[in-house]
């Protein structure tokens, strides 16, 4: 138990840093400390990467980056002291340079205590850092190693997990279960403070929380927003309600997109609007992330585009308040096919590539970011045109299977209806048979298995690493399995060149997938 | 010393496997065993990845891949036995599934001895596997851990390093120095058998060799070709001569390109020919790798293209026997600029993107692989048009700085002259000021520092991780340093979407570079 017999108050500072923006990150920490102190907190816990951003990968191996990190911690400690905030212990962590067993430069997790005007590294014993401050005996560890080295009870007043846990479907529930178990092992109250915000393909979820010594949740901050939770240990506090799965995914994607735009110095985005569901969802996400006025949709109909698709595109733009223009692509098609013979699939790809050229030109002219509309199903089987519909700096829905794209679109529309608003996505964009409209009467199912079959097959293969034998045993037709696995294999090079986008599963094409491009393995 | 007091004979089977092609790899091993046996070898050592290809990354985590690997080793042992080759011990290794400390699926190195019709895993003690066979006491270890855990002398008759060492500039010399030291520590003859061939961004160098117990080189196979070296331990054997640096790099690039094409089922390549040095070197590499008749160069002049560039492009194609066609891009430029306003840089990029569309259409029509001509200097500072000159599935010169491109072009020409052949690259492509020719009288140095300054600066930053402070201390102008570091930072997203290509340095954009795209760090 804490030396202070009244319920000690801790502050969990869940916030959104920018990688390498030391000045801004430091100022935000000082602001949190000021608010924590004003609210009589006795400890301020900050997430992993608070000062530096996260993940840094190899940035700490550059001496000036590592030096600036060290200097900024010192400055932070000094400034907190000067501002009369030195009495508030602050705990944070980030990646710092080290030397590994092979005696080469490497990056390792490090944790720090800032107190009384100075910063001290918390050196771990058996993987756990122990600090004494303000009469407390606190065990501290980074979340990445939480499941490997549980804090075992040794008279701790508080176990503190300094987190940077990326979001994934059902991730917050799994994290909570792991934390409950950790608290029980520690036999002490356990605080978890998490990063929030988008950083390339990572979306950190927030949801900082406190568990009692029995592992019972006693406080939880909301997901996907910055927050300073002030919690009296031992008492129940506010528990942010759990949102439905679709709402969580939608907010994760919105935050990831908003942060990619802002942190890279863009203010607006541009995307193609075909009238199809993928570009519709991307457009609505963008409008929700940035405001409709900061988005530009371009309709680029070819002679194969249907009238209803053109109407759906324009209708969507109106509903979300996007800027909209239509540029028919026939003149460029004619110019190219006069220059070089392009029969069959070459002419289909030509249409997609002309659109890519137009989107990039629009981006060059106005400085906005091009969004790529690919979903996980089509990227998996290579059903997209590289340098065509694949152009863009960020792919907001690249980790959603096609069936999830529809589900999320429906959820967004029904959520709007619940609020008495006009649903943003035209119903026909959701209900019509999906088509690339690159030749007359084309539909996706000319080339692909039904998405109701394709998506579960892909999920099993990509996320559970189910192989041919297991997929067939699970009931997928052998012919379909062989076709899909071949497509996945031969499309690796295209995915390699695709934009990054937010990961919302345990394995996305941006994370936890490491396979060769040149690969002759097939089990058929 | 070996039980057999006569000089024992070992065979080093340096060969080029294909990832996942178990049938072909196994057949090649059987063929090597047959030849080794016919030549009275007492041991056949094979490189790391001989049976599976290398690197596999996460492929062994798929159960069917791991199962096929296990089955193929058994089949191989059985077949060698059936063919009367069971008496010849064969040692090989590859990556196999395991469970790591965190109890999750992982991949680890494993080594095997095949003998008398069966295969046995060589289980390491202190990181070193020890096998007894044919009266020999052999210490075996994979090359990756060679510098970490030297074999210490304990009565070994032979130390065997099962290697998969990728090529890099000066790499073979560094490897030889490490092996000399390892032999001295082991106090035994040391055999090193290396993989050869291209696999995505890897080029394995070969150069298998034998050192005596004093670390003296007594045999060496040539670089970049398959080879079966038969060596009587204790006697001097053939030592392949060391080729000049440029020759090594050139052959590494040629092999990487040839193998990417062949192993991915292509037979021919297509590339733009601008008359500039980058596309010229790519074209010559391709002609050397595949034969000129398997290459197609397309000249795509714009109104800003100079007459001499058009002539140089056509001249080059003639010299190397490439197929050649010219497609002026003005009609597409006019079509696009009538469709959308594209002033300034948008119009420059438009030209590059029209060329990209044409190259991809040519690829769609004929099924050949598009080669991307970017060099390391321009990729570093973002001096290329994404989806324009950046299109392609493989970038043969992406790990060469611009000054190295010129040097390699000069070397190739002078090598041709030495052989009494016509130098393949027109002299003016080498000597004229580099230009993208996207506007009148444009040259690279309008936008970039002199390459004689830029390249050393980039090399220090990218390969030695020199930061701003160190670069300025080394004498680079602060203004140049700041401009270059900013360009490197803001071009990360473009490099992320660039094709892979052979790595020939310790740090390429495909390997050993891990930095965020979203990154606000700057020290200026």
Do A518 and B58 count as a contact with CB atoms less than 8 A apart? no
Does B100 reach chain A within 8 Å, measured CB to CB?
no
B368-387 residues touching A, CB cutoff 8 A: 386-387
* Mean pLDDT along residues B122-140: 80
Q: Is residue A197 a contact partner of residue A203, using CB atoms and an 8 Å limit?
A: yes
Q: Is residue B230 a contact partner of residue B50, using CB atoms and an 8 Å limit?
A: no
Do A514 and B332 count as a contact with CB atoms less than 8 A apart? no
Average pLDDT, chain B: 94
Can you tell me which residue has the tokens 């060799």? B209
Do A263 and B518 count as a contact with CB atoms less than 8 A apart? yes
Do B62 and A260 count as a contact with CB atoms less than 8 A apart? no
Of the pLDDT bands very low, low, confident and very high (cuts 50, 70, 90), residue A222 is: very high
Do A357 and B354 count as a contact with CB atoms less than 8 A apart? yes
Query: Residue A369 corresponds to which tokens in the numbers above?
Result: 């970011």
The string of DSSP letters for A244-284 reads PHHHHHHHHHHHHHHHHHHHTT---EEEE--SSHHHHHHHH
pLDDT, tens digit, for every residue of B101-125? 777 889 989 999 999 999 999 977 6
Residues of B in contact with A362 (CB under 8 A): 340
Query: Residue A44 corresponds to which tokens in the numbers above?
Result: 């301020």
Residue A3 has pLDDT above 60, yes or no: no
Q: Give residue B135's pLDDT.
A: 81
Does A350 reach chain B within 8 Å, measured CB to CB?
yes
Residues of B in contact with A328 (CB under 8 A): 339
Do B148 and A102 count as a contact with CB atoms less than 8 A apart? yes
Q: Where are any strands of DSSP class E within A59-164?
A: 90-99, 105-115, 118-121, 124-125, 128-133, 136-142, 158-162
Can you tell me which residue has the tokens 């900024």? A72
* A519 φ, ψ (degrees, to nearest 5): -155, 110
Distance from CA of B146 to the nearest CA of A (A): 11
Q: Is residue B336 a contact partner of residue A361, using CB atoms and an 8 Å limit?
A: yes
Do B365 and A387 count as a contact with CB atoms less than 8 A apart? no
Do A327 and B339 count as a contact with CB atoms less than 8 A apart? yes
Q: Which of A175-189, A464-478, B193-207 has the lowest mean pLDDT?
A: A175-189
Can you tell me which residue has the tokens 């997901």? A223
Nearest CA in chain A to B492: A393
- From residue B221, give the alpha-carbon distance in Å to each of B14, B158, B175, B243: 8, 18, 14, 12
Q: Give residue B6's pLDDT.
A: 63
Residues of A in contact with B20 (CB under 8 A): 519-522
Can you tell me which residue has the tokens 């192989």? A467
* B10 φ, ψ (degrees, to nearest 5): -115, 155
B274-293 residues touching A, CB cutoff 8 A: none
Do A500 and B500 count as a contact with CB atoms less than 8 A apart? no
The proportion of chain B whose per-residue pLDDT surpasses 70, expressed as a percent, equals 96
* Mean pLDDT along residues B415-422: 96
* B400 φ, ψ (degrees, to nearest 5): -105, 130
d(CA B443, CA B306): 12
Closest to A13 in 3D by CA, of A127, A114, A116: A114
Does A485 reach chain B within 8 Å, measured CB to CB?
no
A23-62 residues touching B, CB cutoff 8 A: 53, 55-59, 61-62
Does B149 reach chain A within 8 Å, measured CB to CB?
no
pLDDT, tens digit, for every residue of A20-73? 999 999 999 999 999 999 999 999 999 999 999 999 999 999 999 999 999 999
Residues of A in contact with B149 (CB under 8 A): none
* Mean pLDDT along residues B424-453: 92
pLDDT, tens digit, for every residue of B252-294? 999 999 999 999 999 999 999 999 999 999 999 999 999 999 9
Q: Give residue A393's pLDDT.
A: 98
Number of Cα atoms under 13 Å in the Cβ half of residue B277: 25
Give the SS3 label for residue B464: coil
* Mean pLDDT along residues A149-160: 75
The number of beta carbons lying within 10 Å of the beta carbon of residue B341 is: 11
Question: A326, A464, A521: which to substitute to probe chain B, counting the most B Cβ within 10 Å?
Answer: A521
Query: Residue B463 corresponds to which tokens in the numbers above?
Result: 């390969």
Residues of A in contact with B147 (CB under 8 A): 102
Question: B100, B262, B387: which to substitute to probe chain A, counting the most A Cβ within 10 Å?
Answer: B387
pLDDT, tens digit, for every residue of A438-452? 888 888 888 899 999
Does B217 reach chain A within 8 Å, measured CB to CB?
no
3-state secondary structure string across B406-419: HHHHHHHHHHHHHC
Query: Residue A45 corresponds to which tokens in the numbers above?
Result: 């816990």
pLDDT, tens digit, for every residue of A389-412? 999 999 999 999 999 999 999 999
Q: Is residue B66 a contact partner of residue B94, using CB atoms and an 8 Å limit?
A: no
pLDDT, tens digit, for every residue of A314-373? 999 999 999 999 999 999 999 999 999 999 999 999 999 999 999 999 999 999 999 999
pLDDT, tens digit, for every residue of B174-218? 999 999 998 998 889 999 999 999 999 999 999 999 999 999 999
d(CA B456, CA B436): 22
B509-512 long-range contacts, Cβ below 8 Å, gap at least 24?
Answer: B509/B376, B509/B379, B509/B380, B509/B398, B509/B399, B510/B200, B510/B201, B510/B398, B510/B399, B511/B201
Do A199 and B62 count as a contact with CB atoms less than 8 A apart? no
Residues of B in contact with A391 (CB under 8 A): 387
Residues 6+ apart with CB under 8 A from B125: none
Nearest CA in chain A to B512: A58
Can you tell me which residue has the tokens 């000690």? A8
Nearest CA in chain A to B266: A518
Nearest CA in chain B to A490: B264
Q: Give residue A149's pLDDT.
A: 58
Q: Give residue B152's pLDDT.
A: 67
A288-347 residues touching B, CB cutoff 8 A: 327-329, 331-332, 334-336, 338-346
Average pLDDT, chain A: 94
Q: Give residue A523's pLDDT.
A: 81
Q: Give residue B286's pLDDT.
A: 98
């Amino acid at each position: 138990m804490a030396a202070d017999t009244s319920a000690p108050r801790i502050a969990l500072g869940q916030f959104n840093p920018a990688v390498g923006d030391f000045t801004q990150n430091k100022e935000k920490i000082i602001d949190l400390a000021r608010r924590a102190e004003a609210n009589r907190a006795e400890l301020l816990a900050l997430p992993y990467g608070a000062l530096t951003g996260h993940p840094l990968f190899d940035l700490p191996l550059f001496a000036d980056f590592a030096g600036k990190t060290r200097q900024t911690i010192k400055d932070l400690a000094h400034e907190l002291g000067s501002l009369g905030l030195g009495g508030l212990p602050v705990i944070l962590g980030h990646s710092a340079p080290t030397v590994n067993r092979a005696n080469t430069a490497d990056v390792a997790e490090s944790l720090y205590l800032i107190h009384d005007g100075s910063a001290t590294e918390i050196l771990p014993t058996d993987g756990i850092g122990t600090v004494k401050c303000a009469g407390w005996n606190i065990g501290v560890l980074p979340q990445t190693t939480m499941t490997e080295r549980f804090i075992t009870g040794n008279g701790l007043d508080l176990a503190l997990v300094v987190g940077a846990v990326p979001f994934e479907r059902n991730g917050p529930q799994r994290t909570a279960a792991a934390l409950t178990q950790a608290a029980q092992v520690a036999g002490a109250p356990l605080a978890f403070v998490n990063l929030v915000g988008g950083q390339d393909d990572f979306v950190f979820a927030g949801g900082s929380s406190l568990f009692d010594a029995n592992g019972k949740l006693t406080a939880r901050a909301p997901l996907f927003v910055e927050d300073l939770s002030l919690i009296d240990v031992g008492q129940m506090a506010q528990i942010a309600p759990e949102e439905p799965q679709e709402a969580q995914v939608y907010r994760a994607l919105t935050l990831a997109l908003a942060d990619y735009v802002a942190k890279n110095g863009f203010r607006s985005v541009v995307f193609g609007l075909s009238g199809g569901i993928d570009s519709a969802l991307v457009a609505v996400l963008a409008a929700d992330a940035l405001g409709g006025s900061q988005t530009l949709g371009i309709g680029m109909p070819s002679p194969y585009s249907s009238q209803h698709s053109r109407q759906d595109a324009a209708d969507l733009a109106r509903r979300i308040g996007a800027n909209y223009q239509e540029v028919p692509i026939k003149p460029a098609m004619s110019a190219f096919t006069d220059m070089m013979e392009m029969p069959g699939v070459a002419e289909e790809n030509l249409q997609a590539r002309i659109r890519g050229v137009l989107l990039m030109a629009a981006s060059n002219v106005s400085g906005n970011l091009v969004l790529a509309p690919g979903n996980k199903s089509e990227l998996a089987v290579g059903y997209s045109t590289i340098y065509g519909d694949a152009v863009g700096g960020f792919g907001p829905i690249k980790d959603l299977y096609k069936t999830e794209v529809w589900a999320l679109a429906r959820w967004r529309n029904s959520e709007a209806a619940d609020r008495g608003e006009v649903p943003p996505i035209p119903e026909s964009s959701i209900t019509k048979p999906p088509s690339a409209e690159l030749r007359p009467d084309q539909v996706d199912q000319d080339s692909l298995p039904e998405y109701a079959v394709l998506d579960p097959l892909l999920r099993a293969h990509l996320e559970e690493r189910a192989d041919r034998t297991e997929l067939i045993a699970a009931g997928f037709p052998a012919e379909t399995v062989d076709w899909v696995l071949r497509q996945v294999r031969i499309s690796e090079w295209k995915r390699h060149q695709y934009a990054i986008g937010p990961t919302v599963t345990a394995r996305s094409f941006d994370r936890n997938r490491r396979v060769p491009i040149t690969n002759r393995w097939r089990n058929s």
